[in-house]
Chain A
Amino acid sequence: MMRRYIKLYFLLAGAYVRSRLQYRLSFGLMCFGIVVSEACLLGLLGALLAKFRTVNGWTWAEVVFLYGLGNVAHSFMRILGSQLDDFDRYIIRGELDGVLIRPVPPLFYLLASRVELIHVSRALTSVAIFVVAFHLTDLRWTLSVALFTFTTILSGGVIMFTLMLISATVALWTTKSGKLTDLLVAATKEAAIFPISIYPLAVRLLLTFILPVAFVTYYPAQQLLQKGEFLGMPESFQFGAPVVALVMVCASYLLWCSGLRRYHSTGS
């Protein structure tokens, strides 16, 4: 069963990649663009921090570490969730019709049949940044650090993915969610880059309980960097990422299922 789905995932994703590779030049240009834009962003961040030295008691290395952590989770989630990028257009064109006539769970089929290689190039860049950031801090690789980092990235990716899925699912009700998704993707990524202690209380609560991106970077980083900043939240939040991820998976899947029942297809 599991093997069937893994095989099917690679077959469908492979079919998409092969389709895309028919247009090699545009793909090459996009990859180049991503590497350049990531480098610029990081350069900007570096320049800013070099000037101010610390942000709310966070050193330059620590902020880059946070940025790397969030970015790795985010970019892997983008690879797997490529289909959600412009999901509303997909729905408006009635293309879910073709998915719903296949004997495969629709969400699986959808996600498998689009894997943007552009996001892969983004992911590689982000891993490189993260590894550098890791060494800039005083952290050293031990088994427990590696395990914790891995779990954090995995949970973080899942949390960001479910947020994106939820906003895309809204398209099944409104038939448009593009702007909402874009906004959410941008906001979660940006919010994860900086220590949330720089935001006012209301925003911190929002990022903890409503759009729980604080669990992608900030709280887990407390454990890794031993900052001991909990801003009045329970200390156990530093281990909360997997739990939050699990809750988000359940919530977003239920929403997706009820959204599917509302799918209207198109009139022609």
Chain B
Amino acid sequence: MPIITVEHLSKHFKVYKRRTGFWGNLSSTFSREHDIIKAVDNVNFTLERGELVGYIGANGAGKSTTIKMLTGILVPTSGHIDVMGLMPYRHRKENTRRIGVVFGQRTQLWWDLPVIDSFELLKHIYEIPQNLYKQNLEFFSELLQLQPFLSTPVRRLSLGQRMRCDLTAALLHNPEILYLDEPTIGLDVVAKEQVRQFLRQVNAERQVTVILTTHDLNDVEKVCQRLIIIDSGKIIYNGAIDALKKRYGKTRLLIVDLAQAYSDIQLEGVDLTRRDGNRIWLAFDRDTTSASEVIAQLTARYEIQDLTISEPEIEEIVRRIYELGMH
């Protein structure tokens, strides 16, 4: 029995056209001219209890919109969401007691108050029993080393410290599901690693189901077991990360620094995937084309300065999927 079931879920936004200038402004105030943005478009997936799933997609793909519908913030345009037997927006109150939410872009803590005050307030908001509260607070402040800044106002925390506090705040009431929208945004390498480690641990020790969105594929690779890729509101991949690598990792990449920026580059069996000044990225299928063939072709036609071959990283695979779509 899945903990989250999403069926034919869609969210459409009406965006009213705005004209410029005084008269344009005035007339657009009264006209109902609009575009429809299909932010989420007929999406289906399920999550099992205890899973750790990465939800990725390019900017504007519909990740946050999906999360907001799952958490009950937005009402879906159509489709069905079942979270632990509840409909999030209809049974909002019951649902929120059983979930934790972190928005990386916006803190849920009281900005001008000491961190500990936010935790105390949440204790009352969620009616967390005192002993459970103490136990959890101890557990998280130990794990995330919150002690040194518990009495510092939130506005004076660094981004990394703030994120650790936000994570704690979302977990104090022992939620069964944790939704994270870009939890590593803006963090440095060390802080990111700390968040990842923490999520793995919370998932393993407390059986919290985690769904996270991110633009850093390392998060996904190091934390998640499963990957869901959304593109323009539609799910284009849903499965294990290894399987994605196997399926799309046939493509190798050759990065070449040319002596000059040739205007027209023509090579057989090779895709020019990217270009930046004199540097070009060439992708080719390892089964049909060998690296030496490609290099031979290149050197015969162009003057090259340097080259490297890279084996497909998840990052590259996903970048190609964002750019070219799934084949």
Binding site for B on A (CB under 8 A): 4, 7-8, 11-12, 15, 18-20, 22, 94, 96-98, 100-105, 261-265, 267-268
Contacts and interface: CB of A to CB of B under 8 A. Distances in A.
B103 A103 contact: no
B75 A261 contact: yes
A268 B103 contact: no
B92 A100 contact: yes
A105 B112 CA distance: 24
A4 B127 CA distance: 9
A256 to B, nearest CB: 14
Please provide the 7 A-B residue pairs with the shortest distance between their CB atoms, ordered closest to farther. A19-B112, A103-B96, A103-B97, A100-B73, A101-B101, A103-B93, A261-B75
A264 B37 CA distance: 12
Given A103-B93, A264-B13, A15 B64 contact: no
Contacts of A268: 64, 105
Given A18-B117, A22-B153, A97-B103, 18 more contacts: A4-B127, A11-B124, A15-B113, A18-B112, A22-B112, A98-B103, A100-B72, A100-B92, A100-B96, A101-B73, A101-B96, A103-B93, A103-B96, A103-B97, A104-B125, A263-B74, A265-B73, A268-B64
B125 A103 contact: yes
Contacts of B71: 100-101
Interface in B205-223: none
Interface of B: 13, 60, 64, 68, 71-75, 89, 92-94, 96-97, 99, 101, 103, 105-106, 108, 110-113, 117, 121, 124-127, 153
21 contacts: A8-B125, A15-B113, A18-B113, A18-B117, A19-B110, A19-B112, A19-B113, A22-B153, A97-B103, A97-B106, A98-B108, A100-B72, A100-B92, A101-B73, A103-B93, A103-B94, A104-B93, A105-B93, A263-B74, A265-B74, A268-B64
A265 B113 contact: no
B69 to A, nearest CB: 10
Nearest to B89: A261
Of A11, A100, A265, chain B has the most CB atoms within 10 Å of the CB of A100
Contacts of B108: 98, 101
Nearest to A22: B112
Contacts of B117: 15, 18
Of B94, B125, B153, chain A has the most CB atoms within 10 Å of the CB of B125
B103 A11 contact: no
B120 to A, nearest CB: 8
B227 to A, nearest CB: 23
